[in-house]
Amino acid sequence: MVECEMPTPTVTKHARRSNWTYADYCKIPPDRHRHEIIDGRHYVTPSPEIGHQRAGSRLVHQLMAQIDDVGLGETFSAPLDVHLGRGTVVQPDLVVVHRDNRAVLGTKKVTGVPDLLVEILSPSSGKRDRTLKRDRYERAGVREYWLVDREARVVQQFVLRGGVYSEPLTCAEHLRCRVFRGVVIDVTRLW
């Protein structure tokens, strides 16, 4: 298993290769951007805006109170590498792992499939979150995926059924988590 150490500046963020690996990812020098590899392609996103961070913090607070604090699992916020196999390392805004799935948690990254991933839409990454990442999470078997849309003030909830995501449920007031039974998010408190 490859673990990231101190990166060496040998890879540029403008490289147009389509066969990136986790080892390549570990060589990217720190630059205050979010780097991800999806199906072997390298993507760079600037740091999120204040509104993005605000929604993420408020959602983390609710998730931790209902999941972490009662022993159902653990909630993590970005930056945290999620290694979904050769050629895919993502940094979702929020990662939630069920207590029965703790084996995916390493010392430096998540290796394997978390139970719930959350992306907060931003102008720089919204299209990728809605299409490319959604499709990759579905193929990986992520049981539940949420898209937080700050402009529309809703959360779209995708639930994996038979290996594919169901039509998204759009939640403007309350969202009932399917992976963690009994967890209800007050969407109105995210803004």
pLDDT digits (tens, 9 = 90+) for 37-52: 999 999 998 888 999 9
What is the C-alpha separation between 3 and 115, in angstroms, rounded?
Answer: 22
The answer to whether residue 57 is domain-embedded is yes
**Which is nearest to 118 in space by CA: 46, 63, 67?**
63
- Structural domain includes residue 61: yes
106-154 pLDDT per residue, tens: 999 999 999 999 999 998 889 999 999 999 999 999 999 999 999 999 9
Inside any domain, residue 38: no
Residue type, 82: V
Residue among 52, 49, 97 nearest 75 (CA):
97
For 10-63, the pLDDT digits (tens) are: 334 445 677 999 999 999 998 888 999 999 999 998 888 999 999 999 999 999
Give dist(CA 118, CA 1) in Å, integer.
26
> How many CB atoms lie under 10 A from the CB of residue 71?
8
- Tallying the residues shown for the chain, one arrives at 191
Residue 168 belongs to a domain: yes
CATH code (residue 131): 3.90.1570.10
The pLDDT assigned to 47 comes to 86
Q: Given this model, what pLDDT does residue 7 score?
A: 37
pLDDT of residue 16: 64
What is the tally of structural domains in the chain? 1
In a domain, 176, yes or no: yes
Q: Rounded to two decimals, what is the model's pTM?
A: 0.89
Centre a 10 Å sphere on the Cβ of residue 127 and count the other Cβ atoms it contains.
Answer: 11
Q: Tell me if 35 is assigned to some domain.
A: no
* Residue span of the structural domain in which 95 resides: 50-190
Domain assignment present for residue 131? The answer is yes
127 is a domain residue: yes
Residue type present at position 28 = I
pLDDT of 6 above 70: no
Pair 82, 89: CB distance under 8 Å: yes
5 burial class (0-12, 13-18, 19+ CB within 10 angstroms)?
Answer: exposed
